[in-house]
Amino acid sequence: MVLVSGLALSLTACGGDDGDKQDPVSELKAAAEKAAKQNSYKAKGLSKDHEGETSIEASYSEKPVASDLRGTGPKTADNPSGEIRMVHIGDTLYVKSGEPVGGKPWMKIQGSKLAEIPKGDSLRSAGLQAAVLTTSKNLKKAGEESVRGRKTTHYKGTVVLSDLAAYKGDLMTEKQRDAYVRTSKIDDVKSLEMDVWVDKEGLPAKTSESANGSKGETITIMEYLEYGLEVKVQAPPSDEVASMADMLKSMPKQ
């Protein structure tokens, strides 16, 4: 099951129609920078891979740190319901997926490192994908299109992961760049086909990323429905939450 979802920034490419005086790299860079300044967003989409299709809904806030991700995908032996939920509040992450631990459906993960995860390292954001697409050597405008009634400009190109790994600039940190490359390289993927739709406000409205690897094609499409909203996230009831100690107790003894 592939999940997505943060916010961030990038540079390099060519393209554009002869009659278009504006540079698609500059336009995408501006969209990435504007998205990075947003404190929150709401998104929905889907992801497909060799295991099947997963629907995704996500809300994310940078300050205070709060996110809620819901996914519904293929039913497996490890996850009979096919459902996953991740709630992130400050330095605590609650995960609901698969079989209950000690009879409790939620698992709690705590630690200062959770609060230090940069935007886009866990939830791939519209801003980060716009930044990544600027590294494409065949970046171009694909025309004007409508996304849920919003007028947008469509940009597309191929991102070669070795080129992305060599990126040095102010649109993304090395940690964000390396995390994106590391995650994308799963199943021997060498390049990504990427599309970003930017609305008239200069913000990404939709992103698409596809790749062919050793296990076939993977595609993730996200629509960014709203920016700047108040994200309210509530922790699950304490009697439904298992700790790391509970998980260790439930593991079969060697």
Q: Identify the CA nearest to 223 among candidates 114, 148, 141.
A: 148
pLDDT at 110 over 70: yes
Alpha-carbon gap, residue 177 to 10, rounded angstroms: 9
First to last CA, the chain: 29
Question: Is the pLDDT assigned to residue 245 strictly greater than 50?
Answer: yes
State which amino acid sits at residue 233. Answer: V
Residue 13 confidence (pLDDT) above 50: no
Alpha-carbon dihedral 109, 111, 115, 116, rounded to 10 degrees: -120
Strands, DSSP E only, in 8-82? 40-49, 52-61, 66-72
Measured between alpha carbons, how far is 215 from 31 in angstroms, rounded to an integer?
33
What would the two tokens of residue 227 be?
């920016």
3-state SS of the chain: helix, strand, coil percent to 5?
Answer: 20, 40, 40
Counting every residue, how long is the chain?
Answer: 254
Task: Output the pLDDT for position 205.
Answer: 97
Task: Work out the pLDDT band at 126, boundaries 50, 70, 90.
Answer: confident
Average confidence (pLDDT) over 79-89: 90
Residues 210-228 have pLDDT tens digits of 999 999 999 999 999 999 9
Indicate the burial class of 24 (C-beta count within 10 angstroms; 0-12, 13-18, 19 or more).
buried
Q: Is the pLDDT of residue 78 over 90?
A: no
pLDDT tens string 26-71: 999 999 999 988 999 999 999 999 989 999 999 999 888 899 999 9
Q: Which fold has domain 24-250?
A: outer membrane lipoprotein receptor (LolB), chain A (2.50.20)
Give the pLDDT confidence score for residue 9 in this predicted structure. 26
By CB neighbour count within 10 A (0-12 exposed, 13-18 middle, 19+ buried), where does 44 fall?
middle
Instruction: Specify the pLDDT at position 116.
Output: 54
Q: What is the mean pLDDT of residues 156-162?
A: 97
Residue (of 20, 18, 33, 15) closest to 202 by Cα position: 33
| Domain chopping of the chain, boundaries | 24-250
- Give pLDDT, residue 111: 72
What average pLDDT score do residues 140-157 get? 97
Is the CB of residue 49 less than 8 Å from the CB of residue 71?
A: no
Round the average pLDDT of the chain to a whole number and report it. 84
- Check residue 20 and give its pLDDT: 46
Give pLDDT tens digits for 173-219: 898 899 899 989 989 999 999 999 999 999 999 999 999 999 999 99
Whether the pLDDT of residue 254 is over 70: the answer is: no
